[in-house]
Amino acid sequence: MQGQTLHLPAVRYAVTADITTPAKGGGEPDEAVLAQPLLTVGRDTRLVLDARAARPVSVRVPDSSARIENVNVAVSVGDRGAISEFQSLAHLHTAQIGPSAPANLFTAEIEGVWARPDADGDFRSSPYAYMLSWFSEGGFFNGLSKAPARGDLARVRSTQQTLDRFGYVYKGYLAHSLHGVEGVRLEHVTREGATLTEYYSTGVGWETLFGDIWGDAGALVSRTTPQVRHFQPGGDYRDRWGAAVLGPAFLRPQPGQAPGVARTAAGIDVDVPMYVDGDGHPGEAGAITGSTTLYRNGAKVGTSDARGSATFSVPAQDATYRLDTTVTHPPAFLEFSPRIDTSWTFRSAAVSDGTPRALPVSAIRFHPRVDARNHLLPGGSAMHVTVERQPGAERPGRQKLSVSASFDDGHTWRQVAVAPTAHEGDWLARVPRPSKPGYVSLRAVAADGHAGSVRQTIIRAYAG
């Protein structure tokens, strides 16, 4: 920008600068990231960006075999920001210049992933990964020196289930400051079917993403449920991603978020995640087709070509409704749940106060005992099946459940034995193992004891 003149409104600004200084005699250059959190433009001002003011950034993790996979230095100012990416800390320096800003107006972050490199320099076979993040609110970093011990971090043993034939999965990690500022996404690729030991810095929140498909079809991306997690120092946790059975589920809405199937003053709104894995991680997939159709007293109201999502205008009077959803995708990209059909029936009338009301609908969740490939474990024919009411909806009455299984992708079905357990909404279904290697498809019908029901069919729910 040397020699340029900028005409700016007289308001407050933040300034960041990346300065590269070539090394004498060759070698790696020095990198300096400078930031002035608060610059008020209203009079003549001199701003000096001097890389010599920057101090080193140094982070050491407990594993001597670990190397940096990626490091970000980021600044957020409202809905704007700047990101600097690095592959090494050896020559990285940072400094704040000028005054600090109010904590709610300026946030800086230094974060990175450390893992064990493979022979080819990649990190895909590393048995562990360190996700470390530090925030500074109101000010920038005058260098950084950290050497966390294992006891300072949280350990998460995370299993990545096999959902396709590509062999690797993508993990994304988003740190959140204590004031809710979302950091920059960190990334790591690991093997399907493997258990990755993840170490997280504490004192920040973490959100995790999981991607399983690579190629033109896009990716099945799941994130935590969808709350930000806060780990404890020395804590030991377990995670499982992509476990069968993938299907629809109702998640508890976040503040300001409407229920998945809601009655409003104008009609019925639908937004149901259709690919929630067995541990409650909602997902989305590429190369999907689908439809969502609503009927009122047997007459079709309308159809949307969105999967599990639609807005319908309906009369205010009480009526019986049927909501049908279908989603499909090519099995070549995502091996399991290539077709999901769900049909809900319920009664509804308009809300009087304009606040969206959760409608009395439920999802049927299947929980087979599967290995990391989503294949049935030996002796795993007994399966828990839960009927989960949409959060915020009226409680069901005396529920009934029937379950059928198919071993030929839904061409023929056989009903299986089910029995309620001591827990409300939970049944034990005995689904026989296929006579030869293949897939098990599931169909279930649940009545809620009032005027509602759900019928759900999932083709290739898991492998036998």
For β-strands 55-59 and 144-146, DSSP reports them as: parallel
Structure confidence at residue 455 (pLDDT):
99
Structure confidence at residue 224 (pLDDT):
60
- For 124, residues 6+ apart whose C-beta sits below 8 A from its C-beta are 118, 168, 189, 190, 191
Rounded distance, CA 159 to CA 156, Å?
A: 10
Distance of CA 281 to the CA centre of its chain: 7
Structure confidence at residue 220 (pLDDT):
59
Rounded distance, CA 241 to CA 277, Å?
A: 7
Rounded distance, CA 452 to CA 214, Å?
A: 40
Q: Cβ–Cβ contacts within 10 Å for residue 334, how many?
A: 27
Q: Which two tokens stand for residue 276?
A: 């929630």
Q: Which DSSP letter does residue 433 get?
A: P
Structure confidence at residue 261 (pLDDT):
98
Helix, strand, or coil (residue 386):
strand
Rounded distance, CA 308 to CA 420, Å?
A: 29
Rounded distance, CA 414 to CA 429, Å?
A: 13
Structure confidence at residue 284 (pLDDT):
73
How would you list the strands of the sheet with 186-191, edge to edge?
A: 186-191, 168-176, 205-211, 221-223, 283-284
How far from 318 is each of 104, 267, 358, CA to CA, in Å? 47, 12, 15
Burial class (CB within 10 angstroms; exposed 0-12, middle 13-18, buried 19+) of 202: middle
Structure confidence at residue 242 (pLDDT):
87
Rounded distance, CA 366 to CA 428, Å?
A: 10
Structure confidence at residue 380 (pLDDT):
72
Structure confidence at residue 354 (pLDDT):
81
The one-digit pLDDT tens for each residue of the chain (464 residues) are 555 677 778 888 999 999 999 988 778 899 999 999 999 988 877 888 999 999 999 999 999 999 999 999 999 998 899 999 999 999 999 999 999 999 999 999 999 999 999 999 899 999 999 999 999 999 999 999 999 999 999 999 999 888 766 678 888 999 999 888 999 999 999 988 889 999 999 999 999 988 765 555 455 555 565 578 999 999 999 999 989 999 999 988 877 889 999 999 889 999 999 999 999 988 776 667 899 999 999 999 999 998 899 999 999 999 999 999 999 987 777 789 999 999 999 999 999 888 999 999 999 999 999 999 999 999 878 999 999 999 999 999 999 999 999 999 999 999 999 999 999 999 999 999 998 999 999 999 999 999 899 999 999 999 98
Phi, psi of 51 (to 5 degrees): -60, -20
**E strand or H helix at 196:** strand 195-200
Q: CA 198, 200, 206 angle in degrees (round to 5)?
A: 105
Rounded distance, CA 49 to CA 242, Å?
A: 48
How far from 203 is each of 140, 143, 152, 177, 182, CA to CA, in Å? 18, 19, 10, 8, 14
Q: Cβ–Cβ contacts within 10 Å for residue 171, how many?
A: 21
- Helices (H) and strands (E) counted in the chain, each on its own, are 0, 32
